[in-house]
Structure 1
Amino acid sequence: MQPASTRGIRRFLRGLLGGCALALASAAQAAPLVLAYTDGQVETSYSNLKAFYRNLSAVGLGSTYGLTVTGQLHQEGMNDTTRQIIAFAKSKSLPLYPTVSDYNQDIAAFDPAISHSIVNSKALSASTIKQLVTLARDNGFAGINLDFEQVEPRNAKAFSAYVKALGQALHAQGRKLIISVPPKLDDQQPEYLQGYDYRALAAAVDYFQLMTYDQVGPGWSSGGFHGEVWPGPGSGLDWQQALLAYAVTRVPAGKLLSGLAAYGQDYSIGNRVHWSAYEEIIAEHNAVTHLDAPSATPYATWGPVNSFTDGVEWTAERAQPVLWYDDAQSIRSKAALVGRLGLGGTSVWAMGYEDASFWSALQAGLAKAPALLPSGRE
């Protein structure tokens, strides 16, 4: 028999180790999730996943799956790139979430008719939920990411009921539901986003991915910021703060993912450009760089820039010599909101657009939050 003093020391050490284990488990549960979307239509999405997967907690399969107005699940975007992404993510035990959207290839836009027909039909609701659960189960996916971006205000209750039923069906199979939701500033504005009842949707899902990007672009200026004119910031810090401040009053902060874009807007061509191309564009035009203080967002100009009001269409005649983009500092500032607000984590659109410097900035921004989960853990 061991001396009493020895037994006491051992009990103390066991208790200490047990306490440390509980503390580590608690920290792991609170660690921010990093959901990175892959864009299956961009080949570098696969190569970047291979290069930077250690920065991720989960992978969203973007630009691949969708539902039709008749309730048919399709995979029109499936290609070799997405197949490689799926195989690699599984090899690294990274949870996979197929993004299932209401995008209609025939009109090249998100289509409100799709959600309207599905959520207002018991038969279509049941059928699509069955198809989505089967998709997740048969492919070994961690769950489903529902990305309906054109839900009409008249369908708010029906959409919430549909999401609740989908969540219950997935949970019964041990799988999760992530919902991607357009951002709004309050319960009333903007009016066209009143199809999204944040509180009801949040109660039904595991993660609530808020699409805090595309604030300003060629032809639009969203959310009452930046004077309702374009060109302007793609996702300003002030704009994000306002959106998230509202969201956390409706969504449990631990479920909320703030969105970061790995692309900017080149208003000389009226289109998106990727993070990895910013330096080349700036050098090509011998541009002068600036910082917009309210949005904490940089921009680069190579001539006088005119502004246009929200809704004025971009045309070649209205092309402007300016690039609005993010740099390491602006990404750090926006990622730091996760820790400041106690959010569940962040999401990135999209892999294949970025390079190593993006992930370094993201990690630095998350540094004040609990340590990033190792890959493959949620």
Structure 2
Amino acid sequence: MSAERTSEFEVIALERLWFYVNVPDARSSFLQHLDKIDALVPFWFGVTQEGGLLDQSAPDVERTAKENDVPIIAIVHNYSDPQLGAIIHDLLVDATLRRRLVDSIEVVLASRSFAGVNIDFEFVPPADRPYLNAFMRELYSRLAPWFLVTISAPAKLSDDPQHPFSGAFSYAALGQYSHQVFILAYDEHFTVPGPIASIGFVRRVLDFALTEIPREKIKLGMAVYGYDWQEEGGFPETLSHAEAVARARRYGVPIIYDEQAQESTYTYTADGTRHIVWFEDARSFAVKLGLIRTLGLPGFAAWRLGQEDARIWGLI
């Protein structure tokens, strides 16, 4: 890749990583944009209680990626069990199970010729921080010479070991025991309406991350989707960019680009209930790309293929 100067930092051309799930719109987008994807990060392997992996891969996508020299960084996740926190707690605290899980990951990466692994453990109990660190240390020690070891970490503005969602994630330790940390700087608002990832929020998250993790190891996790909330809040409906735009048209309401948040939004009323929508588009994506370059970060990992504004591909 050619180098170019941005701000006071020297960075290579941005690495473009895309998360993938086994749904038709993701597959279609992947096939259309193979030449603009530097690595595919598919949601394919769920952990089991015994330290094994549940294979949820898509053979046709795997074959196409390999035929087109698109590296695969396979996600290992804990969504294979309804008790997300419980299953990952049991695996992390038991040294034998940790070792068995590392063995399982190594076998999959080697047998399938994957480029690496992305650890995506969610709802890890805060008290399990030392065990998550131990797992990543053991995984990195085993795999680092041959495979890329990465982890997805929730957005944080400071280090609070007691935080119910992010407390288990020590940026400093994870940066030490991985090649890359994907900082998932989105879902700024979830149970109440608001921006998915306002530029101010993303900047604050990255400013903190840079105090804990080497700059060259940080990938910005970027959203390309939207949320639709009922006015009183609660869990939102996830929308792709196309769905968000179509819904605004259906209800005849204008889409407003919020200059402070650098994100698109609108409101509408259906069956007497007011809804609030925020979503990402090419303009908000471009602003975050600019921030990545200003900070001298090596690239991004976007969630997820199939949900994006098609104009994004012209930017990257």
Task: State if a TM-score over 0.5 links the two structures.
Answer: yes
Partners of 1:70 and 1:117 within 8 A in 2: no
Shift of 1:287: 0.9
Of 340, 356, 368 in structure 1, the residue corresponding to residue 310 of structure 2 is 356
SS in 2 for 1:321: strand
SS at match of 2:308: coil
Question: Quick one: which of 32, 36, 39 aligns to 1:55?
Answer: 36
Q: 1:126-159: CA deviations, max 9, x gaps?
A: 1110000010000010011110112222111221
CA distance in 1, matches of 2:19, 2:93: 29
Q: 1:86 — aligned with what?
A: 62
Aligned partner of 2:139 in structure 1 is 166
Q: Which residue of 2 aligns with 1:117?
A: 90
Aligned mates of 1:179, 1:72 — CA distance in 2: 18
Report SS of the residue matched to 1:356: coil
Q: Is the 8 A contact 1:98 1:141 kept in 2?
A: yes
* 8 Å contact from structure 2 (residues 91, 97) kept in 1: yes
> Corresponding residue for 1:232?
194
**Aligned-CA RMSD value:** 2.4
Q: Are 1:260 and 2:222 an aligned pair?
A: yes
Which residue of structure 1 aligns with residue 47 of structure 2?
67
User: Contact conserved, 1:288 with 1:302, CA < 8 A, in 2?
Assistant: no
Change (3 A) 1:331 1:29: closer
Residue correspondences, number = 307
- Whole-angstrom distance in 1 between the partners of 2:197 and 2:4: 32
What CA distance in whole angstroms lies between the structure 2 residues aligned with 1:320 and 1:347? Answer: 33
Determine which structure has the larger strand proportion and give its number. 2
In structure 2, the residue matched to 1:44 is 25
SS at match of 1:249: helix
Superposed counterparts of 1:99-118, under 5 Å: 99-107=75-83, 111-118=84-91
- Counterparts of 2:244 and 2:126, CA distance in 1: 38
Aligned residue number for residue 300 of structure 2: 346
1:349 is displaced (CA, Å) by: 0.8
What SS does the corresponding residue of 2:274 show, helix, strand or coil? coil
AA paired with 1:68? Answer: T
Look up the equivalent residue of 2:59 and give its one-letter code: R
Is the contact between residue 274 and residue 354 of structure 1 (CA under 8 Å) also seen in structure 2? yes
Alignment partners' CA distance in 2, 1:234 and 1:275: 13
Q: Distance in 2 between matches of 1:189 and 1:237?
A: 25
Residue 76 of structure 2 contacts residue 120 of structure 2 at CA under 8 Å; is this kept in 1? yes
Query: CA 1:29–1:297 in 2, change beyond 3 Å: closer, same or farther?
Result: closer
C-alpha distance after superposition, 1:47-94 (max 9, x if no partner): 2111112211100012x211123322112x33xxx2221111101111
Question: Residue type of the partner of 1:237?
Answer: I
Which residue identity lines up with residue 289 of structure 2 in the other structure?
A
Asked if the contact 2:241–2:307 (Cα under 8 Å) also holds between the matched residues in 1, the reply is yes
Higher gyration radius (CA):
1
Distance 1:165 1:277, change over 3 A: same
CA contact under 8 A between 1:52 and 1:356: conserved in structure 2?
no
* Alpha-carbon distance in 2 for matches of 1:189, 1:280: 42
**2:227, 2:278 within 8 Å by CA — same for their partners in 1?**
yes
Task: Pick closer, same or farther for the CA change 1:24–1:287 going to 2, 3 Å.
Answer: closer
Shift of 1:335: 1.7
For residue 203 of structure 2, the aligned residue among 229, 233, 241 is 241
Higher helix share: 1
Relative to structure 1, the CA distance from residue 90 to residue 187 in structure 2 (aligned partners, 3 Å threshold; closer, same or farther) is same
Contact 1:290 1:298 in 2 (8 A): yes
Question: Displacement of 1:302 after TM fit?
Answer: 2.5
- Please give the alpha-carbon distance, in whole angstroms, between the structure 1 residues aligned to 2:142 and 2:274: 49
Q: Mapping of 1:294-333 within 5 angstroms?
A: 294-303=260-269, 319-333=273-287
1:232 Cα shift?
0.8
Equivalent position amino acid for 2:224 in 1? A
- What are the Cα deviations for residues 15-62 of structure 1, in whole angstroms up to 9, with x where unaligned? xxxxxxxx958999833211101111x112112111112211100012
Aligned equivalent of 1:201:
174
**What does residue 33 of structure 1 align with?**
15
For the 8 Å contact 1:67–1:73, the answer to whether it is kept is: yes
Deviation at 1:274, TM superposition (A): 0.4
Q: Which of these residues, 132, 142, 154, is aligned with residue 182 of structure 1?
A: 154
Q: Matched residue of 2:202: which SS?
A: helix
1:280 is aligned with what amino acid? A
**Counterparts of 1:61 and 1:96 in 2: how far apart (Å)?**
7
Identity %: 24
- Against the structure 1 CA distance between its residues 275 and 293, is the aligned structure 2 distance closer, same or farther, given a 3 Å change threshold? same
Counterpart pick for 2:252 among 247, 270, 286: 286
**Where does structure 2 lack aligned partners over 5 or more consecutive residues?**
none
Q: Distance in 2 between matches of 1:360 and 1:114?
A: 41
Equivalent position amino acid for 1:191 in 2: H
Q: Give the TM-score normalised by structure 1.
A: 0.76
1:238 and 1:190 mapped to 2: Cα distance? 24
1:233-259 CA distance string (max 9 Å, x none): 111111111111100110111111111
Q: Per-residue deviation at 1:115? A: 2.4
Distance 1:114 1:56 in 2: 33
Contact 1:178–1:208 (Cα < 8 Å) also in 2: yes
- Taking structure 2 as the reference length, the TM-score comes to 0.90
Q: Answer whether contact 2:20 2:41 (CA < 8 A) is retained.
A: yes
